[in-house]
Structure 1
Amino acid sequence: MTIRIFVGLLLGFAVGLVMHYLPQIVPDSPVDLWIQEYLIDGVFLVFGKIFVNLLKLMIVPLVLVSLICGVIASEESKSLGRLGSKTFVLYLLTTGVAITLALMVAQVIDPGAGANLEGDYERYVPKERPPFVQVLINIFPDNPMQAMAEGNMLQVIVFAILVGIALNHTGAQGKRIGAIFEDLNVVVMKLVQLIMQLAPYGVFFLVGKVFAEQGVDLLKGLGAYMGCVLLALALHFTGTYMTILTLVARLNPIIFLTKMRPALMFAFSTASSAATMPVTMGVVEKKLGVKNSVASFTIPLGTTINMDGTAIMQGVATVFIASAYGIELGVSEFLTVIATATLASIGTAAVPSAGMITLAMVLGQVGLPAEAIGLILGVDRILDMVRTAVNVTGDAVVTCTVARSEGALDQAVFDDPDAVEVQPG
């Protein structure tokens, strides 16, 4: 898939540049009209829109089902008392820090400053946005079916959380319905995977159309976007995580990173927290000394709700796209992005590129078009590999921190350089 997406990106880039510069090479010919009418505004527009619509198709079922399953998983820790609350709070706290850090970095660098969009993008007019107080009120739905039909994802998130809590307080009936949602989650994940098989073709048409309208000038902004995301990921990795590990868990970060290498390499190569979970479990238990009673809860929960790297991408992408459109985001918009991205991370699937689907939701909350995802989708696979490694690191950091506070971490195993090597699979 990685190779296919790169091929789609390169072909889209090449074909887009040909469509952009060919009319200049052959002036006063019908080539310009033919390219614009039949290719840019025809084939490339149609198939690009279809792919975007398929991404948007998955937003409601993905968030609803994944979030209900995440709440069910977290509520199963009720009997664990402090363990459950510590883990949940730490995961949400690190995600909130991640999205805030991403917005700050993006504001300073302003990666979309040089990408002035033309054509269809230039004609986009953002919707008038309500004040933040009204946004807070509107978070709570009065009609969940209407919220799903209109794509009001903050209301869908709240509804999913309430349903998950209700299922955990309904005894045997709740367990039966919860099992149905677990099965639905498997089906939805498979549907996401099937749609993402079309990503190389979607990348080709979306990137081709953008570069046909923009030319090579867009590369400068795209490079700035990638650099901005990687910088924010690095700051969160070395700053937030290592600070928690050093000051809160009182553990050596060098030893931690050395022993986490198998999980990080596997996460980077698969771009999937879910696929990496067995390796992560083995590392934290056998090499870092965390007891199974803690790791068996914190790692699966982290795989479900801890998506700091995805939240960072969504924050930078929102600022990048808004800047490219020449749209200024105010304090209320930033607060909305922080709240939406933090909550959306709970419902983001632990599979490659699923963050692109919830990004469409975040963009919609601040009045930006989902079609703009095409600007960054071509390079997202590279960033997805890095942010998955960050997500897996966050799972292990929180696990070690909680285990340390509960006296469930064997310091001798953690310090032992000869602890058993864990192989993928």
Structure 2
Amino acid sequence: MSNKKSASLTTRIVIGMAAGIILGFILQMLMPNKSDFVIPLYIFDLSLRGLLVDGIFQVGGKVFVASLQMLVVPLVFVSLICGTCSLKDTSKLGRIGGKAIGLYLITTAIAISFAMFLALLVNPGEGVNMVANTTFESREAPSLAQVIIQMFPSNPFAAFANGNMLQVIVFALLFGIAIALSGKPGERIASLFEDLSTVIMRLVTILMNLAPYGVFCLLAGLFTDVSIETFGNLIQYFLVVFFALVLHATITYPVLLKLLTGLNPLIFLRKMRNTAIFAFSTSSSNATLPITMATTTKKMGVKNSIASFTVPLGATINMDGTAIMQGVATVFIAQVFNVDLTLTDYLLVILTATLASIGTAGVPGVGLIMLAMVLNQVGLPVEGIGLIIGVDRLLDMTRTAVNVTGDSMVTIIVGKSEKQFDEDVFYDMDAGQEQEEADSKVS
């Protein structure tokens, strides 16, 4: 049995990204200005553009993008139902659930609004002027009232077939609440959806393990015809997303905590340090969930009756980091492909990404699938994902740290408002240390 460890997914995606960019630039030198490079053989002439750019790279890239789009509807529908099924107690549904969901949605809306404002301020994709492989036709922007009306499906199956994600999200929320309130029959249906969620998460894992090859094909094809300046734009995109994530975690959350509870936000950030580092290393809110639970109860002083409800709910529906990425990526891709978005389009992105964050499962890589949905919602070319997917895996770790920080912040606010919070434990800097040391000895 070999003790050799395979490279991590992050490493393989970075290798695929680097190899694709390097090969793309090599091919660009061989085929400047979108020309062709023909290798004469004895029987026929071999066209590099026909074989690689328009052949292998195009097929591989389009299959990967299609796979991302394929998972959107089932992933959102099943994840949303599993999340709302956790609201089994009607009193919690009306009070604690309302507080938690309201706070999660508010922080997500703040996150994506700030991210889009920052992206429009910096303009990371300006001046690239790429052309999508698919044609883009501008459409008349619907009014905000029409958008709200169209959120509610008259035929949910038509919404599934057409990929109308706002309608799918609304139907999934209503269906999940109905399951939660249906007693024993609801429990049986909920169990089925939990199993479906496990299967779909396995499918996501399979797809993300193919991501390095998809990234390689997408970037090799793109950088064959893209100038070196585009890479500078990609660095700008990375820095804008990273800066927005850091500001959201260190300013938005502490300010909300101070305003709504009066607690010291610096102590909160200090006690979140180990949990955030663990989340950063795993890139998974779900994997970090036991650590987040222990932090909020043992170190922060929230009673388990609250934390056991709000933390798992947050791991399911609180994806502020993903929303920030989607906001910046939408602006970046629109600028790269020289597409002007209207004010209604921006409002639609905020609304879609905020609601979609509820259905974004807390596992690595799912944010890209949600991004495909957001891009489709405002008519932007999904091929743009190929530009950012290489650096997205690196940003995913930071996004997860932001998400679990938000989960803990909301848990404290709800716990204090419900008088299920021990302030002495919160201000005790040694709280939870004994248990942590005991756990480390056992492991």
Same fold (TM over 0.5): yes
- Kept in 1: contact 2:87–2:177 (CA 8 A): no
CA distance in 1: counterparts of 2:214 and 2:403, whole angstroms: 26
Cα offset for 1:392?
0.5
Match of 2:87 in 1: 74
Cα offset for 1:29?
5.5
Cα offset for 1:133?
3.0
Match of 1:192 in 2: 204
Closer, same or farther in 2 for the Cα pair 1:144/1:109, shift >3 Å? same
- Kept in 1: contact 2:88–2:181 (CA 8 A): no
Match of 2:69 in 1: 56
Is there any run of 5+ residues in structure 2 with no aligned partner, and where?
A: 1-8, 40-44
Secondary structure in structure 1 of the residue aligned to 2:236: helix
Match of 2:42 in 1: none
Select which of 15, 24, 28 maps to 1:20: 28
- Kept in 2: contact 1:63–1:157 (CA 8 A): yes
CA distance in 2: counterparts of 1:299 and 1:108, whole angstroms: 34
Residues 234-270 of structure 1 deviation map (CA, whole Å, 9 limit, x = unaligned): 2211221010112212121221122111211111011
Residues 53-87 of structure 1 deviation map (CA, whole Å, 9 limit, x = unaligned): 11111001000000111111235463475322211
CA distance in 2: counterparts of 1:339 and 1:161, whole angstroms: 15
CA distance in 2: counterparts of 1:420 and 1:147, whole angstroms: 48
- Kept in 1: contact 2:57–2:217 (CA 8 A): yes
Select which of 391, 397, 402 maps to 2:403: 391
Residues 33-54 of structure 1 deviation map (CA, whole Å, 9 limit, x = unaligned): 8222211111000001111111
Match of 2:4 in 1: none
Residues 378-407 of structure 1 deviation map (CA, whole Å, 9 limit, x = unaligned): 100111111110001000000111111222
Cα offset for 1:420?
2.5
Is the aligned partner of 1:407 residue 2:419?
yes
Match of 1:254 in 2: 266
Matches within 5 A, 1:201-350: 201-350=213-362
CA distance in 2: counterparts of 1:238 and 1:179, whole angstroms: 38
The normalised TM-score by structure 1 is 0.95
- Kept in 2: contact 1:248–1:401 (CA 8 A): yes
CA distance in 2: counterparts of 1:172 and 1:282, whole angstroms: 31
Match of 2:161 in 1: 149
CA distance in 2: counterparts of 1:372 and 1:183, whole angstroms: 33
Is the aligned partner of 1:86 residue 2:99?
yes
Match of 1:169 in 2: 181
Match of 1:137 in 2: 149
Closer, same or farther in 2 for the Cα pair 1:171/1:302, shift >3 Å? same
- Kept in 1: contact 2:303–2:415 (CA 8 A): yes
CA distance in 2: counterparts of 1:287 and 1:299, whole angstroms: 14
Match of 1:355 in 2: 367
CA distance in 2: counterparts of 1:169 and 1:409, whole angstroms: 28
Residues 170-200 of structure 1 deviation map (CA, whole Å, 9 limit, x = unaligned): 2221221111111111111111111111011
Match of 1:102 in 2: 115
Is there any run of 5+ residues in structure 1 with no aligned partner, and where?
A: none
Closer, same or farther in 2 for the Cα pair 1:145/1:119, shift >3 Å? closer
The normalised TM-score by structure 2 is 0.91
AA aligned opposite 1:83: I
Is the aligned partner of 1:8 residue 2:16?
yes
